[in-house]
Amino acid sequence: MMDGESIKKMLRSVLLSSKEGVSIGRLQTEYRSLCGELIPHSKLGHHSLEDFLRSIPSVVRLEHRMGEMIASSVASDDRVE
């Protein structure tokens, strides 16, 4: 398993490949395709993937769009450190 910072970097890579954002399910699928494992949110102390993603606002922005949770990359000038 990767450490938290490596996971954030991989998530950022996946999110940057889709300018319009991706559903959480698709994010999980693309991350697994790239890394060979699902996003290990529970190993990082989060009960759900959405909770984990909400805990890293410097990497991902979540929004409801047409009844679906969409994840998108945070632009470098919008990052909250």
Q: Where are the domains of the chain?
A: 4-78
Given a cut of 60, is residue 78 above it in pLDDT? no
Give the model's confidence band at 76: pLDDT under 50 very low, under 70 low, under 90 confident, else very high: low
Given a cut of 60, is residue 80 above it in pLDDT? no
Give the separation between CA 54 and CA 9, rounded to whole angstroms: 16
CATH superfamily of domain region 4-78: LOTUS domain-like (3.30.420.610)
Given a cut of 50, is residue 21 above it in pLDDT? yes
Give the separation between CA 31 and CA 11, rounded to whole angstroms: 7
- Name the pTM for this structure: 0.85
Average pLDDT, integer, range 43-56: 95
Average pLDDT, integer, range 31-52: 94
